[in-house]
Structure 1
Amino acid sequence: MENIVTQGVSIPRLGFGTFRMPGGGCQPVVESALALGYRHIDTAAMYENEEAVGAAISASGVARSDLFVTTKVWHDALARDTLRRSFDVSLAKLGLDYVDLYMVHWPAKDMDMAATLETLTALREEGRMRAVGVCNFNMPMIRRAVDEIGAPIAVHQVEYHPFLAQGEMLTYLRGKNIPLTAYAPLAQGRAASDPALAEIGEKHSASAAQIAIAWLLDQDGVIAIPKAGRPKSQRANLDALAIRLDDVDRAAIAALPKDQRFVRPPFAPDWEAKDSLVQ
């Protein structure tokens, strides 16, 4: 497993996502993933499965130092005190002494970005988490966080898959040596049935979903966190690590539509914004 080093932490490039895996049913799924070799687990307070993830980690027998565990604070808890309380709750549910990465899950329109990022940085300095991250910031927001506030952002997590371009974001992040973590890397399952990806897959004796993952990991500074409930699918996603795309494959994927954003909650930022309104 190739890792990316950022802000002093080393992150496996292929992680295991747990979105829409609420409750205790998540535990055996994560146990299976850990047994197969996943060492990067992504959860969040909003997923309502931190206890199950923590129980799976405890039952796995994998050394804590060999794991990279991410969780996130929801957008209604970004004030200093509420953020700290949310962090305490997440850590207790996970049953861990620290998390490797703690992230702002979504920005809030009324957030005090500087105060939020200062609080996250303080938690890092206290040794309770190893790195600070953000998710779903638009371009003005990520520029403000990094260039103006100077926050030690280790990772930016956004929707990214073969049907959604992130060229401007990737160019900026690469210039700052900040990796991009792709969530919904299979476009919420749509990649698995795409004819163009399937055709490339036939050439590599792989599935369309595996090609989508391989395409993400073919790019500098990109991490992917697909989720998979069945061990067979978990194994298939790991096997995508061995696929090597060529220029013909890349050109075929580049020709796919790149304007399909599937994660559109009502509180999402304006993705086309040129100026940040966040204070």
Structure 2
Amino acid sequence: MSQQLPDSDQCPRADGMPMLGLGTWENTDPDACIESVQTALEMGYRHVDTAQAYGNEAEVGEGIARADVDRDDVFLATKVWLDNLAPEDVIETTEASLERLGTDYLDLLYVHWPSRTYEGEATLDAFDELHDRGLIDRVAVSNFQPEQMETAAETLDAPLFANQVECHPMLPQEEIRATADELGVEVVGYSPLARGDVFDNDTLVDIAEDHGVSAAQVSLAWLREKGVTAIPKATGREHVADNWRSLDLTLDDAEIERIDAIDQEKRMVDPGFGPWN
């Protein structure tokens, strides 16, 4: 017998941001992207994450428009690509993102990577301008190391809301999570299923079998226990629903300790321009 789907009210929130969202990285088939966003929202999701670099903002916006959910009930985030981080480009490309997404405002806007055209104070001043103009509700960064996070928080006039990083049981990001906690910054985890490697991890699979759920649900529940907002990518209805059912899974202390003890560290997203390289 399949699990009943949780409703949207069962999704915990981190300072107004739903702690389980729909990621859209590599969701490049237009029809599939539109359908997955609409399906997820009508299933109960209220957090959708995209980026300029994904090439699917228009489709994400169309999926939101088609869903039987008010735009104001959706927490919508996108990211400014690393070629667009000069101040004037931040403004121009964010306005273009808004047009593609079919919305007057973003709930969250990220600096996608602190690389290439990222200019520190100058870039962040442009994000502050967008915030002051009411085009974005919250300012965030992505792929920032602890010291970079601290500097951004000190530089911005607007509060630094979140840092989005790769995070899963094989890359727990303990230092980043500790620094974020000290700063009052949320952590958003991308690739929370380690691009499918959670299904090959014996610890996660064993715990999943004990609960009669998937290893994906175990990984997502573990992240939630750590206070991390997860944004797994899913396209087919079955996968969208399986991730959503993770909201019903509670791990006990012993299971969390078993996952914490996974003796493996694997980074799935590791470009040469990553600040850790």
| TM-score between the two structures when normalised by the length of structure 2 | 0.92
How many residue pairs are counted as aligned between the two chains? 266
1-side partners of 2:135 and 2:167: how far apart?
Answer: 29
Q: What does residue 66 of structure 1 align with?
A: 73
The answer for unaligned runs of 5 or more in structure 2 is 1-10
1-side partners of 2:55 and 2:12: how far apart?
Answer: 29
Q: Quick check: 2:150–2:183 contact (8 Å CA) kept in 1? A: no
2-side partners of 1:149 and 1:101: how far apart?
Answer: 15
Q: Pick from 89, 99, 110: which aligns with 1:92? A: 99
Q: Quick check: 1:118–1:151 contact (8 Å CA) kept in 2? A: no
Q: What does residue 265 of structure 1 align with?
A: 271
User: Which aligned pairs between 1:1-279 and structure 2 lie closer than 5 A?
Assistant: 1-5=11-15, 10-25=16-31, 26-109=33-116, 111-147=118-154, 152-220=159-227, 222-270=228-276
Q: What does residue 277 of structure 1 align with?
A: none
2-side partners of 1:216 and 1:56: how far apart?
Answer: 27
2-side partners of 1:198 and 1:151: how far apart?
Answer: 42
2-side partners of 1:64 and 1:266: how far apart?
Answer: 37
Q: What does residue 6 of structure 2 align with?
A: none
Q: Deviations over 1:46-68 (max 9, x none)?
A: 00000000111111131111110
Please report how far the alpha carbon of residue 235 of structure 1 lies from its aligned counterpart in structure 2 after TM superposition. Answer: 1.0
1-side partners of 2:126 and 2:257: how far apart?
Answer: 43
Q: What does residue 8 of structure 2 align with?
A: none
Larger mean CA deviation between 255-264 and 239-248 belongs to 255-264
Please report how far the alpha carbon of residue 265 of structure 1 lies from its aligned counterpart in structure 2 after TM superposition. Answer: 1.1
Please report how far the alpha carbon of residue 165 of structure 1 lies from its aligned counterpart in structure 2 after TM superposition. Answer: 2.7
Please report how far the alpha carbon of residue 258 of structure 1 lies from its aligned counterpart in structure 2 after TM superposition. Answer: 4.2
1-side partners of 2:188 and 2:82: how far apart?
Answer: 19
Please report how far the alpha carbon of residue 111 of structure 1 lies from its aligned counterpart in structure 2 after TM superposition. Answer: 2.5
**Structure 1 runs, 4 residues or longer, greater than 3 Å off:** 147-151
| Counterpart residue type for residue 39 of structure 2 | S
2-side partners of 1:78 and 1:115: how far apart?
Answer: 9
Q: Secondary structure at the match of 2:195?
A: coil
In structure 2, relative to structure 1, the CA distance for the partners of 1:252 and 1:109 (3 Å cut) is same
2-side partners of 1:109 and 1:57: how far apart?
Answer: 32
| Counterpart residue type for residue 201 of structure 2 | D
Q: Quick check: 1:117–1:151 contact (8 Å CA) kept in 2? A: no
Q: Quick check: 1:121–1:152 contact (8 Å CA) kept in 2? A: no
| Counterpart residue type for residue 212 of structure 1 | S
The answer for unaligned runs of 5 or more in structure 1 is 272-279
Please report how far the alpha carbon of residue 149 of structure 1 lies from its aligned counterpart in structure 2 after TM superposition. Answer: 5.1
Please report how far the alpha carbon of residue 135 of structure 1 lies from its aligned counterpart in structure 2 after TM superposition. Answer: 0.1
| TM-score between the two structures when normalised by the length of structure 1 | 0.92
| Counterpart residue type for residue 2 of structure 1 | P
Q: Deviations over 1:191-229 (max 9, x none)?
A: 023221010011212111110111001113x10001111
Please report how far the alpha carbon of residue 140 of structure 1 lies from its aligned counterpart in structure 2 after TM superposition. Answer: 1.9
Q: Deviations over 1:174-205 (max 9, x none)?
A: 11211100000000110023221010011212
2-side partners of 1:72 and 1:140: how far apart?
Answer: 21
Please report how far the alpha carbon of residue 148 of structure 1 lies from its aligned counterpart in structure 2 after TM superposition. Answer: 5.1
In structure 2, relative to structure 1, the CA distance for the partners of 1:265 and 1:20 (3 Å cut) is same
